């Protein structure tokens, strides 16, 4: 497992991101679609995630952002 644990529900399209420190954010299907469109742009990824949780988005490391780009394609 990478620095993030990523769960994407196939029924609802909701994506949950868990950090090793126990923090979590849930993203709605529209946010997941928006993320997929900008995965190569870290600033845009942070902006989308910050709509759900600013602190979580700010705390994402470069490794975690890279993991998102790979796993959410």
Predicted confidence at residue 1, as pLDDT, reads 55
Encode pLDDT of 4-32 as tens digits: 999 999 999 999 999 999 999 999 999 99
Spell out the domain ranges in the chain: 4-71
What is the β-pairing status of strands 4-8 and 15-19? antiparallel
Contact 49, 64 (CB under 8 A): no
What does pTM read for this prediction?
0.91
| Cα distance between residue 29 and residue 22, in whole Å | 22
Closest alpha carbon to 32 in 18, 52, 60: 52
Encode pLDDT of 28-61 as tens digits: 999 999 999 999 999 999 999 999 999 999 999 9
């Amino acid at each position: 497992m990478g620095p993030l644990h990523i769960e994407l529900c196939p029924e609802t399209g909701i994506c949950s991101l868990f950090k090793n420190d126990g923090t979590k954010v849930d993203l709605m299907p529209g946010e997941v679609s928006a993320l997929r469109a900008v995965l190569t742009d870290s600033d845009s990824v942070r902006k989308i995630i910050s709509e759900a949780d600013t602190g979580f988005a700010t705390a994402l490391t470069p490794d975690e952002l890279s993991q998102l780009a790979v796993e959410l394609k």
